[in-house]
Structures are given as C-alpha cells and as structure tokens.
Chains A and B, each alone.
Chain A
C-alpha cells in the first residue's frame, strides 16, 4: 500500500529534465498506446461491459403482451427488480448469514495469520521454512476440492474425526443446521490463513532490523516489540487482507454448494451468490442482475467503509 504513494512521487522529480529528455528520446504516444491497449481493450470487454450490462439489465423486466399466450418482450421496468430483491426475506437471511460468518471468521483467520507470521519472524522458532510451507500448502488446494475433502471429514459415517470424537464420548454433527455455517467457516480459514500469513510475513521481513536493536536497548522485550513495533508497521497489510476477506465472504459459493450435497441444512438460498445463481438458472436474468448489483454495492460499501474507518483511526 505504501508503495503506491511512493511511486506517485516519481514523476514529480525534476520536471524540467523529464520534459527535455522526453522530447529527445522518451517513448512516443504510439508506443505507449501499444503497451496499454491490449489489456485495456480486454478489460473494457470483460470487466466494464459486463458491469454496465448488468446495470442496464437490472432495470428491465420481462413483459407478456396480449394476454396469456402473448409474446414475451423485455421492457424498462424501473426499480421493479430491486424492490423484488430487497423485499425478499430469503435474500436478507442469506446476507445476514454471510455477515455473521464474516464477523467471526475473518478476525479469527487474520488473528491466526498474524500469530503465525509473528512466530515465524521471532527468534523462538526453528524449521521456519518448513512451517511456512505447510501453512501455505492449503492455498494450492482449489476451494472446491478443499470443500469435497472437508465434506468427508465432516461426514457422520466416513469421518475419522467424528469417529475419534465418538470414541471419546463426544457426539458432534458438523452438518447440522446450527453448525454447518461454522463448518464452512473452518474450510475458509483452512484455505486462506496461510496466504494471509505470507502477506503479513513479507511485510514483517521488510522491517529494518536496527529498529529492533534500538527497542531492545530501551529495554523492550519480545512481546512489546511484536505488539508495539511489528503489528503497527504491518497494519496496512492486515487491512488489505481484511478487505480481500470481506469481498471473499460476500462471494461464498463453492464451499456451501459442495456441503449442500451432503448436508440438507444448506439450502439453495444459503448465500447471496447461491441465490443469484439459482434465480439466473431459473431464467430470471433481470432479477439475478439486480441481485448481483446489490451484492456488488454492498461489497464496495463494506470494503471502502472499512478502509475509511481504519484510515481515520490510524491517522488519529
């Protein structure tokens, strides 16, 4: 994050000289365009156009003209789809579900990531390369495969975990109505802790060592150094990881879909995205578009709101 701001300073340096050298040997507008066009053409086609298309579509509706057997046509529908989406209790329930999920899972996961990163950065640990690699291992497992794998580990008959707990006299059902959300949260935590740890860890490694020496001379112990020096310095990385995690939470789809195959408690409207997909495959693309727009807006509001709040706090 900080590198963004430092880069911005580059063009400001010695403007006079830059101008002169550009007129002599700098890149021409033609070659600059040649570098940029391929990406931005595709970006327009496959990022901007679909967003605009979804926006337009979300304000349309299907109308049947001329009675029951009339022809179907797409007409302007105003906010019909939006009011249908926003008055749908299932939609609010699914948002509430992923909201609860995010409030619990994201902090737990990032706490674990930070803990591992700090331990790997400390003087207490041997075999650092090994631990770093094993923590990162789940990242190489596709979310869908992870969900299939864990669905066996949750399965009442097949799971060695359930069996071991049973032998100990603990009877748990990972797939019940009340527990399945947390079983999904565990899959996400398993998948992403190592990735976030690596982001925080690379930020920790960029801290110059002499800061620690100075702190030690002042009598600071390991814990004080970790909490008062390391954590504040890597805070931007943690915030970035939080934003990506919030986005990921609102997008939950494949893990609950896989668990739905073994757990009847996972309904087709369990997460907002499952619901959107269900509506779209039912043929109501206008309403699915409106729902996507609402989810995207919620994502933006949450991630920007989060950045705003934390920025204000760190400035103070």
Chain B
C-alpha cells in the first residue's frame, strides 16, 4: 500500500525528459479525468444494488411497489425489522443464529486445522510432504457442489442428515486455507527461531502455539475471514442436507421465503429487509478486519 506513495518522486525525475516524453504519459489532466471517470462509473455499478437494498428495506410493501426504487419514501424501517423478526414465530432470528454457528464454528475450527497443516507442510521436513501438498492443491480444484450430493448419501447412511454436523463438518475442511497457511508460514516463521526454541527444549506443539501462531496471525485472520464468508454464503450444501426449517441458515431461509412470495406477497418486504440485515455483519466484519486481510493478501497469498 505504501509503495504507491513514492510516485511523486518519479514525477520529479521525469521532467528532464522534456515534452516529447511527457506526451506518452497519462499524467496530464485528461488522463486523470479519464481514469477517475472510469472508476467512478464502476463504483456506481458496485454500490447501487446495495444502496437499492438499503433504500428498499426502509419502505413499506406498498411504497416498495409504487415509489421510485432509488429514493427514500416514508420511513418504515423499524416496522420492517419488527415484522422480519416476528414472522413465523421469529424464525429469521433462528436462521441468523444458525448462520453464525455454521460460519463461526466452521471457520474457527477450519482455520485452526489449516494453520496446523499448512505450518507442518511448510516447516517440517518429512517424506511424502510434496505428495500431501499436491493432494491439498488437487482439493482446491474440486468444486464443492460435486461433493454435496454424495455427502448427503453418506450422512444419511449414518442417520446424520438434517443436523448441524451435516453442514459444519464438511465445511471445516478448507484445502485453500491449508495452501494459504503454508505460504504464510514459509514467509513469516523463520527457521532459526524454531531451531532456537527447540534447543531451549520446547516441544513442537508448544512452539507452534506460543511462537508460530502469533507470527501467523494476519494470515490466519485472512483465512478465517474468507472461510467465514465462504460458509455464510454457501447455499448448496445446506439445501441438500437440511429438511427442517429450524436448521436453515439465512441464505436458505430467504431463498424459501422468496419462492413463496407468489402465494404470500407480504413476505416480499421481509425478503428485502432480511437480505439487507444479513449483509450488514459481513460488511462490518470486512471493514473491521481490513488491516488484517489486506496485509494477509499482500503478504504473498497469491503472489
């Protein structure tokens, strides 16, 4: 991020080059205006749908259908929230809690496993290491939806479909997280430090827990965040695994509400408000953890 701030220096260096050279540069006013316009247009494209959702969540059902979608009408937000959380005995709150359990639980366990495995693959020397790593890389390329249907049959063979575990256990396994953890570990944990700790007589697990995990923190926050988002956004696996509405995550619940809007038009406003409510924590999480995931990404994730 800081690298770009050195550019004013380049600017000064360039002046001896004379006007001929400058013509090929975009540093001039037209170049700046052009570049800014492109970005402003794209920003409008990225932001308007979310803004539309925000505006719509403040409207009553009637206003939503009759007033212009990109501007506010009579504020109806708190009533919408009340309706959202009381419809069908407040099942939306339950879905939100489920999403938190699936995404939070799955990502915490998954990140820890990724850290253990990626660290071992980066820092320990043993036979078969390269083979194990290529197995993990192969796993990255396996589309998760391919696994969902056979997983359903496997879980039904042991009578575990339609349970929390049916969603959490498969979500815990994150080959991409292992890949990232290995990259982070080889960049952030110096071998000399491990040698020193070993000479002091510390066990491997204690070294990992007290020394390496601390060095890996920015990378692990990145893994956690991406896995959390991945599970929160996953829709196919819960749809395949869960029958009872009480176990649904938000995505699946809203999908079902949206499907029944034609029979129950009143649900439409709750679909909108619910959609808005469900993205707020994710955006907040991203803003709060910005420092971590940015360093995490640039620390060499996908260099």
Contact = CB atoms under 8 A, between A and B. Distances in A.
B149 A153 contact: no
A47 to B, nearest CB: 5
Contact of A46 (B114, B169, B232): B169
Contact of B303 (A35, A120, A203, A257): A203
Classify the secondary structure of B's interface with A. Answer: helix
Given A3-B183, A38-B116, 7 more contacts: A3-B187, A10-B186, A31-B204, A57-B153, A123-B10, A206-B298, A220-B24
A8 B53 contact: no
Given A31-B204, A47-B139, A148 B254 contact: yes
Interface string A187-201: 000100110001100
Contact of A39 (B45, B114, B170): B114
A263 interface: no
Contacts of A57: 150, 153
Interface string A270-285: 0001001100100001
A158 B69 contact: yes
B282 A141 contact: yes
Nearest to B187: A3
A258 interface: yes
Contacts of B7: 123
A201 to B, nearest CB: 9
Contact of A145 (B169, B203, B236, B251): B251
Contacts of A123: 4, 7, 10-11, 27
Contact of A273 (B52, B145, B250, B271): B145
Contacts of B45: 190
B303 A3 contact: yes
B31 A222 contact: yes
Contacts of A139: 229, 286
Interface string A93-136: 00000000000000000001001100111111110100101111
A81 interface: no
5 contacts: A39-B117, A158-B64, A199-B302, A222-B26, A296-B143
Contacts, number: 305
A135 B44 CA distance: 10
A140 B282 contact: yes
A193 B46 CA distance: 9
B50 A141 contact: yes
Given A39-B173, A149-B275, A135 B46 contact: yes
Contacts of B203: 31
A221 B46 contact: no
A190 B150 CA distance: 31
Nearest to B261: A261
Classify the secondary structure of A's interface with B. Answer: helix
Contact of A140 (B35, B121, B205, B279): B279
Contacts of B147: 46-47, 50-51
Q: How large is the interface on B (under 10, 10 to 19, 20 to 34, 35 or more residues)?
A: 35 or more
Q: Which 3 A-B pairs have the closest CB atoms?
A: A221-B24, A160-B69, A35-B120
A42 B17 contact: no
Interface stretch (B79-87, B90-98, B122-130): B122-130
Contacts of A2: 303
Nearest to B201: A25
Interface string A23-36: 00111110110111
B130 A8 contact: yes
B302 A143 contact: no
Given A31-B205, A123-B11, A146-B49, A42 B251 contact: no
Given A160-B68, A258-B255, A221 B271 contact: no
B43 interface: yes
B68 A296 contact: no
Interface in A165-222: 190, 193-194, 198-199, 202-203, 205-206, 209, 212-213, 216-217, 219-222
B149 A288 contact: yes
Contact of A137 (B6, B10, B283): B283
Contacts of A1: 302-303
